[in-house]
Structure 1
């Protein structure tokens, strides 16, 4: 009968070993699943944080680009206004210079006409004004 008892104890020991192995494997499996879940969770958190950071950088870059675009538009408008003011100022100066040149040319033409006796001696000043000869001037 020793063999039956021994066989029973062997079976009992084997059963306990299998149960213990099953428990250990279950525990290892649970720990592996927990580690896997934690790793997945941390990975997802990292992805989310990276996405948020990228969005922040994108928004800041867009804002900076918009600001630069607005400043460039303002600078261009100021340059246009300054150029227009310069154009008006230059146009006024050119017109004034043109008038002066025209008056000088007319004065020179009148002087030449008077020198050669072709000028209007007394027509502009009236009939009772003295002529050049009466004033003591000689046209020659």
Structure 2
């Protein structure tokens, strides 16, 4: 009878382990699905924001380009003035 009890306990333990493993597998699948959903949401959000960011970047670059152009023109005018070259009004 002792052998039967041991076999019964072993079977119960095996069943409990299998049940836990299945729970963990399901939990892992749920976590993976949630991560994929969040990734898809983030990707879509980035795609939606891209045109707006593109316009802001273009505006910033244009403004910066105009500032650099102005500074370069100022430097040229300063050099011309220093050397006594250029338009005299």
* TM-score, scaled to structure 2: 0.63
The unaligned stretches of length 5 or more in structure 1 are: 1-48, 114-140
Task: After TM superposition, give the deviation of residue 110 of structure 1 in Å.
Answer: 6.4
Q: What's 1:65 paired with?
A: 17
Q: Distance between the aligned counterparts of 2:29 and 2:64, measured in 1?
A: 52
Q: Distance between the aligned counterparts of 2:23 and 2:64, measured in 1?
A: 60
The CA deviation string for residues 15-59 of structure 1, in whole angstroms up to 9 with x for no partner, is: xxxxxxxxxxxxxxxxxxxxxxxxxxxxxxxxxx10110011000
The unaligned stretches of length 5 or more in structure 2 are: 66-89
Q: Of the two structures, which has the highest relative contact order with CA contacts closer than 8 Å and spacing of 6 or more? A: 1
Task: After TM superposition, give the deviation of residue 82 of structure 1 in Å.
Answer: 0.3
The CA deviation string for residues 101-130 of structure 1, in whole angstroms up to 9 with x for no partner, is: 1022334566789xxxxxxxxxxxxxxxxx
1:73-84 correspondence runs (5 A): 73-84=25-36
Larger helix percent: 2
| Higher radius of gyration, 1 or 2 | 1
Task: After TM superposition, give the deviation of residue 92 of structure 1 in Å.
Answer: 1.2
Q: Distance between the aligned counterparts of 2:29 and 2:60, measured in 1?
A: 46
2:7 to 43, 55, 71: 55
Q: What's 2:73 paired with?
A: none
Q: Structure 1 segments of 4 or more deviating over 6 A?
A: 110-113
| Structure 2 CA distance for partners of 1:67 and 1:107, relative to 1, 3 Å | same
